[in-house]
Amino acid sequence: MIPHEAGGEAWDTLTLGGVRFGGLAVVSGDAFKKKIDKRRAAGADGARIVDKGFDLVEITLTLTAWLPEHAAQIESLALLVAPRGGPPSRRRALDVAYPSLAFAGITQVYVTGATLPVADDGKVTWTIRATEYREPPARNTTTRATPPAQTSDRADIDPEIAATFRNNPIPSPSTSGAAGP
């Protein structure tokens, strides 16, 4: 939900992985992206579109710091988004809060890269690249009905058919793989 005040306080802060950034945050990227399959008939104009759901979107977070506390927040974020050493399990999706992302329903991102910080005219700018993260849907764990096991009991077969099967058994395959006589 977009806050009713376009210049309101909610637009002044970005929270990533629990770290609140108080400097200038500019968030860009797509709100949503659909996976579509364009099916074209050979030699014909146009196409039929098959909607295959939503794809994950790429997000860019540009952070600009001008106070020492903002620079300290950027350093904390750098340690959070790119932990060096340790097991890869430390690298995980992070909760994110910002009005435009809330509008798009994006609550978590996985950081895929970042630029080196750039200092210019008393400000430091750092850009983070991330991908929207959504848990995969729960898998259907219901089991299929299995047919009852076959038995040698042929009580449900007509006696004449059963006699035919007994008198003309299906030969076993040969062990050599060659066809029988």
Token pair of 50 as six digits: 């098959």
Enumerate domains of the chain plus CATH numbers: 13-32+52-132 (2.40.30)
pLDDT tens track of the chain, all 181 residues?
455 565 567 788 899 999 999 999 999 988 888 888 888 777 778 888 887 878 889 999 999 999 999 999 999 999 888 877 767 766 788 999 999 999 889 999 999 999 999 999 999 999 999 999 988 777 776 666 666 665 555 556 677 777 777 777 777 766 666 655 5
The amino acid at residue 92 is R
Token pair of 103 as six digits: 């509008």
Q: Is 78 helix (H, G, I), strand (E, B) or coil?
A: helix
Backbone angles phi, psi at 127, to 5 degrees: -115, 130
Cβ-in-10-Å burial (0-12, 13-18, 19+) of 16 comes to: buried
**pLDDT recorded at residue 131:** 92
